[in-house]
Amino acid sequence: MEFLDPTHESDARPFALAKRLATLEGATVAIVSNGKKGTLPFFEAFERELKSRFGVAEVVRLAKSNYSAPAEPPLLRDSARWHALVSGIGD
């Protein structure tokens, strides 16, 4: 019996990883939360670590307006201004 593959057969769009930073010293790092309260204490601690251990100059804290949907286009456009972006979820 012959039958067909039910999957998308790996038609996912290809993408490339962003260029890695050699150092975080003096960098501006954005942290994008999914907007849930559970991210707050974690990202506060994360921000302290970024500054104290890695010399990050500035941390920009942002949150999506809908934690179940992709980030809004303006937020994604702004990402070009930062050296690095960390996207994290919390519950």
Residues that bind another protein (CB under 8 A): 1-9, 11-13, 66, 68-70, 91
Minimum CB separation of residue 40 from another protein in Å reads: 14
Would you say 38 or 55 has its CB closer to another protein? 38
Q: Which residues pair with 61 in a beta bridge?
A: 31
For the purposes of burial, counting CB atoms within 10 Å of the CB of 5, is it exposed (0-12), middle (13-18) or buried (19 or more)?
A: exposed
Would you say 9 or 74 has its CB closer to another protein? 9
- In the chain, the N- to C-terminal Cα span, in Å, equals 47
Minimum CB separation of residue 38 from another protein in Å reads: 11
